Amino acid sequence: MINISRKRYRLRIVIPAYPAFNVYSDIAKKTTALGPVSVASSVSEMEGWDVEVIDENNLRRHGPKTDSIGADHEFLQRQRPADVVGLYGGLTSTIPRLYEIAAFYKAKGVVVIAGGQHFVDENIKEALDSGIDYIVLGEGEYTAKELLRVLERGGDAADIRGIAYAKEGKVFYTRPREPITDFDRLPLPNFSLVRYAKIKTYPVGRIRGCEMYCEFCTVKGKPRCASPERLMENISYLVETKDARNFFIVDDLFGQQRDETIRFCGMLEHYQEAIGVRLEITAQIRLDKAKDTELLSAMRRAAIDTVAIGFESPIAEELKAMNKRISPEEMVALARVFHKFGFLVHGMFIFAYPVKEGVDFKMSAEERVKQFKKFIKKAKIDTVQVLLAGPLPGTELRKRLLAQNRVYPLADMGWEYYDGNFPLFEPDSPLTAEDMQASIRKIMGKFYQFRYMFMVVLQIISFPALIFFLHNMQLGWRKWYRHWRNDLMRFGGWMIIRRWTSEFKKNKFSERLKTAKEHLKATKK
């Protein structure tokens, strides 16, 4: 229970910092997570409560920082004492930092709440033993409000659906809460609640859930959709109040509700025409949506410029293990359709995905790298992201690898390594863990190179050549811009990889990997 003598209370929601520099660090400085903002916006409607969001990865507007990572919470607590702190556990790699923040506030007598995809059954006790008082299971917009009222007025938390907490030394779960379906009853996300952040790319969303059931993913369940009008209102509000121009639609698969998606694209197209502004929008979409030319045309007219597509792998056996019902040849053909429609394609890949038991498949690291490079070139992908498979909590992949005794012990490979850049399990023969990590750097290193800095300059020099497209300036601009933008991104990617490599050399991961392999080997004897 909190101090009931206060006239007003404060909830501080914290998005923990990444444990170290990684491939997400640059974009993290320009955006924030939508989930914590949505919960904060819901709580801000409560009488007697102030709420703020602190994104430790985006403190660019006079944010109080520590000498290591994250925000200076001692300063924050002196300046604006929080009665309750909410911690966002959406990324497993940030969990050690989350526990560090929880311990700090717990020592100050502050009630600590946490929620996010990381907190599944296997991790609940660990979290409750790490300074967290209550864990929100599932969506938090309504649960957080009910829990805060109980903390404010006194009452029994057992009556609140969808939480877990310690009771008499054991983990106690309340009744499950049904997923939210009527999103129009929720307030629009209020990004003004995110203190200290400079946001360039605003996350927005309309659909929660995904029916693809990929083995490596935690997002599952029947899609639940808000109205197109709500998403349009969200975007227009940000354009008119924040002068926003860049948006990322966070829906796991854009276009799941096809007809309503096309209707939304039409609304977005007409809105931009009415205000005379062209937006820049990125959406995640399934590769097979390339077959729906009506949808693609509507998306292009609506200023959806970039599509992020999970190709996952160019190797048929790995696609089968992931439950992907598509061949590499089909993927190349469909990717080229997106390219033909003028989309910038960001390809997301998983290297060396473990095939299932009983499958007779072996491929060397060198051959895999060759296959990836060949596929990326043939598919004409504009930017790429190649990560390692992560046995994330709550996924079928983790269950499978644990059952095979292949996951490196958590004592050696802590949660901070669960960001897709580090090998976390024994790979399929003949690969080694070292092979996997070196290979993704080879693929990315080939794609992102220093030489593209000179290509950027050449593209600028070639700009006057657009005069040859006077008959179709739009086509000429699109061709020039695509080359210039891709060269710029490839040079920028080189700088990110270079810095990541430098940071990697400073830590002791190689030693930890060696120890982890020895410990895992010992358990198999």
Residue 345, domain CATH: 3.20.20.70
Contact (CB, 8 A) for 353 and 312: yes
Q: Same domain, yes or no, for 207 and 152?
A: no
For 57-101, what is each residue's pLDDT tens digit? 999 999 999 988 999 999 999 999 999 999 999 999 999 999 999
Residue 443: partners with Cβ closer than 8 Å, 6 or more residues away: 349, 351, 369, 372, 373, 376, 384, 386
List the domain range (segments joined by +) for residue 112.
9-173
> Which residues does residue 349 pair with via DSSP β-bridges, in sequence order?
312, 386
Four-CA torsion 121, 122, 125, 128, nearest 10 degrees? -70
Q: Same domain, yes or no, for 156 and 206?
A: no
For 446-502, what is each residue's pLDDT tens digit? 999 988 787 777 767 765 654 555 555 465 556 667 877 888 888 888 888 888 888
Q: Is residue 454 part of a domain?
A: no
Q: Is residue 491 part of a domain?
A: no
Q: Same domain, yes or no, for 168 and 221?
A: no
The DSSP bridge pattern shows strands 134-136 and 163-167 to be: antiparallel
Q: Same domain, yes or no, for 240 and 387?
A: yes
Distance CA 324, CA 372 (A): 17
Distance CA 298, CA 268 (A): 10
Residue 42: partners with Cβ closer than 8 Å, 6 or more residues away: 140, 141, 142, 144, 145, 186, 187
Report percent pLDDT > 70 for the chain: 95
Q: Compute the average pLDDT of residues 505-517.
A: 88
Q: Compute the average pLDDT of residues 437-454.
A: 90
**Chosen domain end from 445, 462, 495:** 445
Q: Same domain, yes or no, for 152 and 65?
A: yes
**Chosen domain end from 425, 445, 465:** 445
Q: Same domain, yes or no, for 153 and 286?
A: no
For 134-153, what is each residue's pLDDT tens digit? 999 999 999 999 999 999 98
Name the domain count of the chain: 2
Helix axes 34-43, 141-153, angle to 10 degrees: 40
Element (H, E) at 202: strand 201-204
CATH number at residue 106: 3.40.50.280
The length of the chain, given as a count of residues: 525
Q: Is residue 61 part of a domain?
A: yes
Q: Same domain, yes or no, for 323 and 229?
A: yes
Our CA angle for 49, 91, 326, nearest 5°, is 130
Q: Same domain, yes or no, for 208 and 153?
A: no
Distance CA 32, CA 189 (A): 12
Q: Same domain, yes or no, for 233 and 303?
A: yes
Q: Same domain, yes or no, for 249 and 116?
A: no
DSSP H helices, 169-292, are 228-242, 258-275
Rg (alpha carbons) of the chain, rounded to whole number: 24
Does residue 178 surpass a pLDDT of 70?
A: yes
Contact (CB, 8 A) for 88 and 7: no
Does residue 49 surpass a pLDDT of 90?
A: yes
Q: Compute the average pLDDT of residues 208-230.
A: 89
Query: Largest Cα–Cα distance of the chain, in whole Å?
Result: 78
Q: Is residue 492 part of a domain?
A: no
Does residue 107 surpass a pLDDT of 90?
A: yes
- Where residue 5 falls among pLDDT bands split at 50, 70, 90? low
Q: Same domain, yes or no, for 50 and 125?
A: yes
What is the chain's mean pLDDT, rounded?
A: 92
Distance CA 96, CA 16 (A): 9
Q: Is residue 24 part of a domain?
A: yes
Q: Is residue 277 part of a domain?
A: yes
Contact (CB, 8 A) for 409 and 231: no
Cα–Cα distance list, 292 to 9, 157, 228, 296 (Å)? 51, 48, 19, 6
User: In the prediction, which pLDDT does 303 show?
Assistant: 92
For 226-258, what is each residue's pLDDT tens digit? 999 999 999 999 999 999 999 999 998 898 899
**Chosen domain end from 412, 445, 478:** 445
Q: Is residue 49 part of a domain?
A: yes
User: In the prediction, which pLDDT does 219 show?
Assistant: 86
User: In the prediction, which pLDDT does 210 show?
Assistant: 87
Q: Same domain, yes or no, for 285 and 434?
A: yes
For 339-393, what is each residue's pLDDT tens digit? 999 999 999 999 999 998 888 899 999 999 999 999 999 999 999 999 999 999 9
